[in-house]
Amino acid sequence: RPAPVTIIGLGAMGTALAAAFLAAGHPTTVWNRSPAKVEALVARGALRAGSAADAVAASELVIACVLDYPALHEILDDAATDTLAGRTLVNLTNGLPTQARDTAAWAAKHDIAYLDGGIMAVPPMVATPAAFLLYSGPRDVLAAHRATLGVLGEVHHLGEDPGSAALHDLALLTGMYGMFAGILQAFALVDSEGVSAASLAPLLSRWLTDMASSVDFYAHKIDSGDHDSDVVSPLAMQATGLANLAQAGRDQGVDVELLAPLYDLMRRRVADGHGQGDVSGLFELIKRGSATG
Ligand code: NDP
């Protein structure tokens, strides 16, 4: 029999999580600060809780997904915290590794089993094969709820350090936002000559898919610290190419500010004598302890 689940927070994501558990046949209790968001789920079979404490009392497994950690702690007032004792809280709210570690310490103090997590999906992807979720915290706690959590998407355990899921989540989002910046800049460049985004899209999508192999290629160089062997595309050549695309943008009156910091890093690395090295060498300028201002 599917285990009972409580969902706290019914924003776009919490609603998708609750809908996924309902569809999988789990008795699902829901609570949200603004009560109106409960109605659609209740119509689909969810159980309404009158307070956060009542929601917690309904299930051994409580999943929270709200805007941020301060919101979570606002919701978990004294009554809800007392009721959580002896139960499991899985917090899928986006936040910092330090917030996750502080919340794990708070949970331990209140005898709450705690997993911190990150959702690598947008709401329509939840419970589809495309969704994966990152978890950190005690292995046995995850094992106890693995089947239930698996409803939402692929389960990845990133270790017992409660901050680990948040760290990895933020790292994946960092890669995504870098990609978003490039995509928007690319559309702005062709738009400046009257080319629609839709007509660039198939080529851009194909190119970015091919270039995703850079992740493994650079990871190997970064871990070995050797950015100067097996170089296919030397940095000096790339810096010249980047200067060209920035100049093309400027000629067309496009704002190229997003590219400027990358170009500055490339120039510094070339000036340091690594013009024939790989672009992965920029890591040495970015990483902790390397900021030169
Ligand atoms: P929404 O903005 O849609 O919902 C925010 C939720 O937080 C609502 O339930 C809201 O309650 C609640 N909330 C905000 N402030 C408070 C507060 N002070 N006290 C109580 N409740 C509060 O956000 P999402 O559902 O999209 O996101 C939720 C989490 O999921 C975030 O951490 C987000 O980063 C993460 N996430 C979201 C993704 C997405 O694409 N949407 C993708 C991956 C992760 P109320 O309805 O009363 O305002």
In the chain, the DSSP E strands lie at: 5-8, 28-31, 47-48, 61-64, 88-91, 113-120, 132-136, 154-157
pLDDT digits (tens, 9 = 90+) for 36-81: 999 999 999 999 999 999 999 999 999 999 999 999 999 998 899 9
Measure Cα distances from 248 to 15, 111, 188, 193, 238 in Å.
Answer: 45, 60, 11, 11, 15
pLDDT digits (tens, 9 = 90+) for 202-261: 999 999 999 999 999 999 999 999 999 989 899 999 999 999 989 999 999 999 999 999
> Does the 5-167 domain belong in CATH 3.30.450.40?
no
The CB of 168 under 6 Å from ligand 1? The reply is no
- In the three-class reduction of DSSP (H, G, I as helix; E, B as strand; rest coil), residue 57 is classed as helix
CA of 278 to the centre of ligand 1 (A): 40
The CB of 94 under 6 Å from ligand 1? The reply is yes
- The interface predicted TM-score (ipTM) is 0.99
Residue 7 reports pLDDT greater than 50:
yes
Q: How confident is the model at residue 292 (pLDDT cuts 50, 70, 90)?
A: low
Rounded to the nearest 10 degrees, the angle between the axes of helix 164-191 and helix 235-251 is 50
* pLDDT score at 205: 98
Domain boundaries, the chain: 5-167, 213-286
Domains 5-167 and 213-286 share a fold: no
- At the second CATH level, the architecture of 213-286 is Orthogonal Bundle (1.10)
Q: Which two tokens stand for residue 120?
A: 């690598």
Residue 293 reports pLDDT greater than 70:
no
Q: Which two tokens stand for residue 229?
A: 């062997």
Which of 31, 63, 66, when mutated, tests ligand 1's pocket best, judged by the most ligand atoms within 8 Å of its CB?
66
* Other CB atoms within 10 A of residue 238 CB: 18
Which of 17, 34, 41, 67, when mutated, tests ligand 1's pocket best, judged by the most ligand atoms within 8 Å of its CB?
67
- In the three-class reduction of DSSP (H, G, I as helix; E, B as strand; rest coil), residue 130 is classed as coil
